[in-house]
Amino acid sequence: MGELQQPMIRLAQETADLIPGAAEVVARLRGEGLKIASCTGYTREMMQAVLPRAADQGYAPDLVVCAHETPQGRPSPLMIYKACADLGVWPLSRVVKVDDAEVGIAEGRNAGCFTIGVAASGNLTGLTAQALAELDADERSARLAAAADRLLKAGADRVIDTVADLIPALEAEAARRA
C-alpha cells in the first residue's frame, strides 16, 4: 500500500456523509425493482472503509465497481459495462448514470446511458454542502449555474442539484418520453 493510501482511506471514511434525501431516493428506486451500482474512482480499500458508514446512513449499493477493476477507467464505459453485466442489467439505453464530474458524464454517454449531472452536491462547486449553503444567494446561484453548464457541456441529459432531486428528474423525463 502506498504512502498516501492510509491517509486517503481515513479521509474518505471520515467524509463519507450521505447527501440528505439520498437514502430515501435509493429506497424508492429499489421499491420500483431497480438495481443500484456505484462506479467509483476510489480504490477497493477506500470503498471497504466507506461502505459500512454509508450503510449505517441507509445506502448500500447492489454492486460497487472501482476504477482499477477494469482495464480502463473513465471516460471509458468499462465500469458501467462491468456493473451491468454483473447485475444482469440491459439494455444500456435504460440505465441512468448519475455523476458529479464531467468525466463521469462522459463515461455514461460512452456507455449509451441516460446521464444526470449533479451540480450542488458534487465536485464542480468545490464546496461542502454547508459551505455552499453559507454563500450569499448570488454567489451560490453563480456556482450552481457554472457547475450545471459544465455538466451539460460534458453531455448530461439533465442536471439536478443533489441526488435528492433524482426522482422528480426521472419522472419529468418519463413524462417527456410518453
Q: Kindly state the cell numbers that stand for 39.
A: 462506479
State which residues of the chain have pLDDT below 70: 1-4, 11-16, 122
| Cβ 59 vs Cβ 98: under 8 Å | no
Mean pLDDT (the chain) is 91
How many angstroms separate the Cα of 82 from the Cα of each of 61, 69, 77, 153?
A: 15, 9, 9, 26
| Cβ 106 vs Cβ 75: under 8 Å | yes
The pLDDT assigned to 127 comes to: 82
What b/e readout covers 137-163, taking b as 16+ CB neighbours within 10 angstroms? eeebeebbeebbebbeebebbbbbbbb
* Residues contacting 169, CB < 8 A, separation 6+: 116, 158, 160
3-state secondary structure of 30: helix
The pLDDT assigned to 102 comes to: 96
Q: What are 103-136's pLDDT values in tens digits? A: 999 999 999 999 999 999 867 888 877 888 899 9
CA distance linking residue 116 with residue 25, whole number of Å: 14
* Intra-chain end-to-end CA distance of the chain, in Å: 51
